[in-house]
């Protein structure tokens, strides 16, 4: 990878990660907001449930007084609570406010001077209540509270009334729970006594976004400092549905952007690879063409030399070299032409019966091997094995495989060829003891312009040889595959119809 592409790759990765990070941060913020909204709604519902329960308690405390009266021989006992609020002012500023609840007990019959047990008429009852108001002297029970925290007189009066309600109908966890359950809220309620007077409800929002818990504290008897704490565990998945549209849009936009970036980067990479391939193709083409052209140049100068041409043997050699060089050029151009065909059916074939043993011998004899390598070709193909093929194409196939076996090997090369006949096909195996092919390269080596990672820099080539071989094999209706292990060698197998 060149420097610019490396930089682009790093920038792309940083851009994707930063974008994802920002998206996660933004989504988290959105989730926190939705969670707080959800908790606010839930807290409101809880407060409504407590209000409803207080209302029920208030009603039942009224009924309970009537019931108590009845229990205490009905008309005879009158229980009268009186409330008083004492406010002290220093100049014009209020300094203290004290709430007092006094409870008086009277016997109606005693007040009216009647025999105990005499049934009372409505008028007698009203008269007894009237007399009570003028006889409030000795209280049976007295409660005094500091009500300075109340925001106004109304709140202080409401708080004294709550004390009365609590005395007649105490706040019960089960009572509130049944109302919460009816409203679909699962919560844990605990009743406690606060050290100081609590006047206002308090909502404690989640501390952890992953495991959120909402806690609502409601004073149900402010003057006595009695509070109910309702705690709800929130399932984050209950909050997510409210965000599904945001989530979907974010996911779609993120995917689109990431796909865009990845595509852009892979296109740049592809273009750069193509550029490299083009350069390597041009330099290899120049290199490949140079050889036959310089041979031709030499031959032409030989032909121009009359003295040399007088020698029949030399003349014959020069002409044969000229023919070889021209054959090489022509083979090279056919290879280039064939490789550009997209459809194997376009390749012209002159099918005939070809003897594989004899053809390999021809290839081995004609191939020029590097002087610094010792090459042994073991032709173990049975002399009778034949394939139906275009001889020149099959020659090129074998030539490419043998040249590759030599090119991608050490100093001492051993190539073994075997063949077998199998259900109407001739199967040809070319083994070598060369470098072998890595598993990463193995699946790509038949692609055009693909060069093995290890060999690309060391050996000349365009990555067209095996693509060309495969194309020609397929044009014959055959198959080619390879078996290789790195460091040990490779075996190319060609199956051709007979
Ligand atoms: P080129 O030889 O120009 O690179 P080829 O298409 O002939 O192109 O081969 C593609 C790749 O397959 C080579 O670059 C090399 O890595 C690998 N290869 C081909 N034949 C052999 C072989 N006999 N042994 C090891 N590697 C091979």
pLDDT at 71: 47
Measured in whole angstroms, the distance separating CA 428 from the mean position of its chain's CA atoms is 49
pLDDT at 75: 57
Cα(456) to centroid(ligand 1), Å: 9
Is residue 446 lining ligand 1, measured as CB closer than 6 Å?
no
Q: Is residue 380 scored above 90 in pLDDT?
A: yes
Share of the chain above pLDDT 70, in %: 92
Nearest CA to ligand 1 atom 16: 452
CB atoms under 10 Å from CB of 419, counted, come to: 23
* Fold adopted by 349-497: Heat Shock Protein 90 (3.30.565)
387-410: buried (b, 16+ CB within 10 Å) or exposed (e) per residue?
bbbbeebbbbbbbbbbbbbbbbbe
Is residue 489 lining ligand 1, measured as CB closer than 6 Å?
no
**Separation CA 214–CA 187 (nearest Å):** 9
Most confident of 36-45, 107-116, 329-338: 36-45
Instruction: Give the residue-averaged pLDDT of 410-423.
Output: 93
Q: How confident is the model at residue 492 (pLDDT cuts 50, 70, 90)?
A: very high
Residues 6+ apart with CB under 8 A from 94: 87, 88
The better pLDDT of the pair 155, 435 is held by 435
465-475 vs 312-339: helix crossing angle, rounded to 10: 80
Instruction: Give the residue-averaged pLDDT of 233-244.
Output: 83
Which spans in 98-147 are helix H?
A: 108-112, 122-134
Q: How confident is the model at residue 196 (pLDDT cuts 50, 70, 90)?
A: confident
Among candidate residues 77, 83, 79, the one with its CA nearest the CA of residue 102: 83
Residue 99 has phi, psi (to 5 degrees) of -105, 135
Cα(492) to centroid(ligand 1), Å: 11
Please, what sign has the CA dihedral across residues 435, 443, 482, 342? negative
DSSP string, 288-355: HHHHHHHHHHHHHHHHH-HHHHHSHHHHHHHHHHHHHHHHHHHHHHHHHHHHT-SSGGGS---EEEEE
For β-strands 412-422 and 374-379, DSSP reports them as parallel
Cα(372) to centroid(ligand 1), Å: 20
Instruction: Name the 3-class secondary structure at 33.
Output: helix
Most confident of 59-63, 88-92, 415-419: 415-419
Cα(399) to centroid(ligand 1), Å: 13
Residues 6+ apart with CB under 8 A from 28: 209
Q: Is residue 435 scored above 90 in pLDDT?
A: yes
pLDDT at 79: 67
Q: How confident is the model at residue 451 (pLDDT cuts 50, 70, 90)?
A: confident
Nearest CA to ligand 1 atom 1: 463
Convert the pLDDT of each residue in 81-94 to its tens digit.
Answer: 676 777 777 777 76
The better pLDDT of the pair 474, 105 is held by 474
Convert the pLDDT of each residue in 102-152 to its tens digit.
Answer: 777 778 888 888 887 788 888 888 888 888 777 777 777 777 888 877 888
Q: Where are the domains positioned within the chain?
A: 2-60+170-234, 63-168, 349-497
Q: Is residue 343 scored above 80 in pLDDT?
A: no
pLDDT at 341: 62
Q: What is the largest CA-CA distance in the chain?
A: 171
Is residue 219 lining ligand 1, measured as CB closer than 6 Å?
no
Is residue 445 lining ligand 1, measured as CB closer than 6 Å?
yes
Q: How confident is the model at residue 169 (pLDDT cuts 50, 70, 90)?
A: confident
Q: Is residue 344 scored above 80 in pLDDT?
A: no
82-116: buried (b, 16+ CB within 10 Å) or exposed (e) per residue?
eeeeeeeeeeeeeeebebbbbebebbbbebeebee
Cα(443) to centroid(ligand 1), Å: 12
Average pLDDT, the chain: 85
| 157, 207 contact by CB (below 8 A) | no
**Separation CA 403–CA 378 (nearest Å):** 15
Q: Which of 51-65, 202-216, 362-376 has the lowest mean pLDDT?
A: 51-65
Instruction: Name the 3-class secondary structure at 437.
Output: coil
Cα(425) to centroid(ligand 1), Å: 26
Residues in the chain: 498
Cα(409) to centroid(ligand 1), Å: 11
pLDDT at 1: 62
Pocket test for ligand 1, best of 276, 375, 429, 455 (most atoms within 8 A of CB): 455
pLDDT at 125: 81
């Amino acid at each position: 990878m060149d420097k610019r592409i490396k930089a682009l790759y790093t920038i792309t990765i940083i851009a994707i990660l930063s974008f994802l990070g920002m998206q996660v941060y933004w989504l988290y913020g959105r989730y926190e907001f939705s969670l707080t909204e959800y908790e606010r709604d839930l807290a409101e519902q809880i407060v409504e449930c407590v209000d409803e329960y207080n209302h029920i308690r208030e009603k039942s405390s009224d009924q309970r007084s009537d019931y108590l009266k009845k229990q205490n021989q009905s008309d005879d006992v009158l229980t009268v609570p009186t409330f008083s609020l004492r406010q002290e002012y220093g100049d014009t500023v209020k300094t203290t406010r004290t709430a007092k609840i006094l409870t008086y007990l009277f016997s109606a019959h005693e007040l009216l001077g009647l025999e105990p047990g005499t049934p009372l008429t409505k008028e007698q009852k009203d008269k007894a209540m009237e007399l009570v108001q003028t006889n409030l002297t000795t209280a049976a029970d007295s409660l005094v509270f500091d009500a300075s925290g109340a925001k106004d007189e109304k709140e202080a009066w409401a708080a004294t009334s709550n004390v009365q309600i609590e005395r007649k109908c105490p706040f019960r966890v089960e009572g509130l729970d049944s109302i919460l359950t009816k409203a679909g809220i699962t919560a844990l309620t605990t009743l406690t006594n606060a050290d100081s007077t609590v006047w206002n409800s308090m909502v404690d929002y989640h501390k952890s976004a992953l495991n959120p818990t909402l806690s609502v504290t409601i004073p149900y008897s402010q003057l006595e400092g009695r509070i109910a704490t309702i705690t709800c565990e929130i399932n984050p998945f209950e909050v997510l549905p409210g965000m599904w549209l945001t989530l979907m849009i974010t996911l779609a936009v993120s995917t689109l952007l990431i796909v865009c970036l990845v595509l852009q980067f892979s296109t740049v990479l592809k273009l750069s690879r193509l550029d490299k391939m083009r350069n390597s193709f041009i330099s290899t083409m120049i290199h490949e063409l140079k050889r036959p052209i310089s041979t031709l140049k030499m031959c032409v100068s030989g032909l121009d030399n009359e003295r040399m041409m007088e020698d029949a043997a030399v003349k014959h050699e020069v002409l044969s070299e000229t023919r070889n060089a021209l054959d090489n050029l022509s083979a090279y151009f056919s290879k280039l032409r064939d490789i550009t065909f997209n459809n194997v059916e376009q390749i012209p074939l002159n099918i005939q019966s070809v003897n594989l043993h004899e053809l390999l011998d021809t290839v081995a004899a004609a191939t020029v091997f590097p002087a610094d390598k010792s090459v042994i070709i073991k032709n173990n193909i049975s002399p009778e094995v034949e394939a139906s093929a275009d001889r020149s194409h099959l020659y090129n196939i074998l030539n490419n495989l043998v040249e590759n076996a030599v090119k991608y090997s050490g100093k001492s090369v051993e190539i073994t060829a075997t063949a077998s006949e199998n259900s109407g096909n001739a199967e040809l195996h070319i083994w070598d003891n060369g470098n072998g092919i890595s598993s990463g390269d193995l699946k790509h080596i038949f692609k055009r312009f693909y060069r093995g990672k290890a060999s690309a820099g060391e050996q000349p080539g365009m990555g067209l040889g095996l693509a060309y071989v495969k194309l020609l094999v397929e044009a014959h209706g055959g198959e080619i595959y390879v078996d290789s292990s790195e460091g040990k060698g490779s075996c190319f197998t060609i199956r051709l119809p007979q």
